[in-house]
Amino acid sequence: MIQSDYDPQIVAEHAVELAEKGLTFMGVDVFDPVSFWMLLLRFTFNILVCWVIIQFFYYRKSRRKDYYFTFMLFSVTIFLLLFLLESIPMQIGFALGLFAIFGMIRYRTETVQIREMTYLFVIIGISVINGLAMDIPIVSIVVANFLFILVIWLLESNKFLKHTSTKIILYERIALIKPEKYDEMLADLQGRTGLDITKVEIGHIDFLRDVAYLKVYYKADPNEINAIDSIIRFS
């Protein structure tokens, strides 16, 4: 009887180990079912939360398709970038670096308004949380995302913050900018603009041309977002 030169127990252990590792190509796993399903589930959850915020809070008022496009792609890019690099030992520094870089973004084509920059910062923050919080319980991640949506809903619903619009006006009736003629100036502005003006601030005064820059505050539709309120034209 020929004696076998290998131990069946050792062979069985190696077979189990190879089965757990799965198929590899040049030392890299071709398919890891756990990572694959985790990626799909977390990606779907992240993109759904960001879509709810953009669609029902930002886009409902602004109607800016360009920023809609930007925010959604930022969400996808940041999440996938952090999720796929999660194993690299630079998580915290990398995330903070992203905040610093994108916090200083200035598009050269136009000045990005505060509201758009705020939503961009929120989308980046949510994507960073969902992409890096691998060891955090799922319930905690869901609650954190829900808190984002809740706070944004409260702030956008005008329940705590009353919406006030402003405009910069180049005013030629400079005789009415005196404090004692404030009511007359206010009535004149309301009659000429048709706005329900509540407050007027006097800015730069040009006595050579007899004009002054006024900043008027007026009541407007709560859903109105005017991105050019503060833009003025110099002649």
- Taking only the tens place, the pLDDT of each residue in 13-51 is 554 554 555 566 665 666 677 778 888 999 999 999 999
Count of CB atoms situated within 10 Å of the CB of 62: 19
Element (H, E) at 30: none
Q: What is the pLDDT of residues 95-128, one digit of tens each?
A: 556 556 655 555 555 567 778 888 988 998 898 8
pLDDT higher for 119 or 234?
119
Of 132, 211, 213, nearest to 200 by C-alpha is: 213
Which tens digits make up the pLDDT trace of 47-77?
999 999 999 988 888 888 888 998 999 889 8
Residue with tokens 């800015």: 203
Size of the chain, expressed as the number of residues it contains: 235
